[in-house]
Amino acid sequence: MMAVYDLEEQEQLAELKTWWNQYGNLVTSIILAVALAVAAWQGWNWWQRDQAAQASVVYGGLQQAALQHDAKRVRELAGDLIDKFPRTAYAVMGALVSARVQQEVGETKTAQVQLQWVADNASDDAMRALANLRLAGVLLDEKNYDAALTRLASVPAAPFLARHSEIKGDVFAAQGKFAEARIAYEEAIAAIEEKQKRADADGNERGRHLAYQEVLRAKLDGLASSGVKP
């Protein structure tokens, strides 16, 4: 009986050897490829965590500089984030903070460059939309009305509709196109009213919506002095 088992084992070993001779190299290659892929994935995750950790330190310094109104330092640290850690969320947030600070001190060209970078490179749609709207506002302040309207050519997601229409109304009003401005302001009011309908019962949020509507209605009323009737 043992002889039968030995014979069966020998046949199985022979079949295994034949199979290995035929497919062994392929199996080895697959195992090696999987091992390399796992190692690469782990290395990539480690690299991302390391990048985020380093970027967070730089961003912390940028926030501190912003609180101290040190526009030069803010600009330098934002540049470091963009140059060294462009794939991190800290680079996007740093550029947005720096753009605001630069605009406050009159460095509008720098603000434009940083907002343009966010609009072109942010992976988050909301961040790109925010940067685009703020860039349109900077262009409006510089009286570059055509460029501002170009930034506003595409309609953003619902959370940004009110601000989008408001800036468009501001541009039209600055151009003396008061009828178009009125339409834009009315669209902004409609958008904020729709947002208020979907808002929860939070008193602060409702208060902000009502205050924003008052601002928009004041702009509408201001058009009346230009001879534009509702």
- Domain range summary for the chain, segments of one domain joined by +: 28-123, 143-230
pLDDT, position 197: 73
Q: Is 83 exposed, middle or buried (0-12, 13-18, 19+ CB in 10 A)?
A: exposed
Local confidence band at 106 (pLDDT 50, 70, 90 cut-offs)? very high
Instruction: Say what the pTM is.
Output: 0.73
pLDDT, position 53: 82
pLDDT, position 37: 61
Q: Among the CATH numbers 3.40.50, 2.60.120, 1.20.58, 2.40.10, which is that of 143-230? A: 1.20.58
Reply yes or no on whether the pLDDT at 107 is more than 90. Answer: yes
Q: Helix H segments across the chain?
A: 2-67, 71-84, 89-104, 108-121, 125-141, 145-151, 161-175, 178-198, 203-224
Reply yes or no on whether the pLDDT at 52 is more than 60. Answer: yes
Q: 28-42, 81-95, 170-184: which has the minimum mean pLDDT?
A: 28-42
Local confidence band at 1 (pLDDT 50, 70, 90 cut-offs)? very low
Under DSSP, the state recorded for 41 is H
Reply yes or no on whether the pLDDT at 206 is more than 60. Answer: yes
* In contact, 40 and 75? CB cutoff 8 Å: no
Average pLDDT taken over every residue of the chain:
83
Q: 112-115 long-range contacts, Cβ below 8 Å, gap at least 24?
A: 112/138, 112/139, 114/78, 114/82
Reply yes or no on whether the pLDDT at 178 is more than 80. Answer: yes
Measure the CA angle with vertex 80, ends 56 and 119; round to 5°: 85
pLDDT in tens, 3-48: 444 656 666 666 666 765 666 576 666 766 665 565 655 565 565 6
Q: 18-22, 79-83, 119-123: which has the minimum mean pLDDT?
A: 18-22
Reply yes or no on whether the pLDDT at 60 is more than 90. Answer: yes
pLDDT in tens, 133-172: 999 999 999 999 999 999 999 888 888 999 999 999 999 9
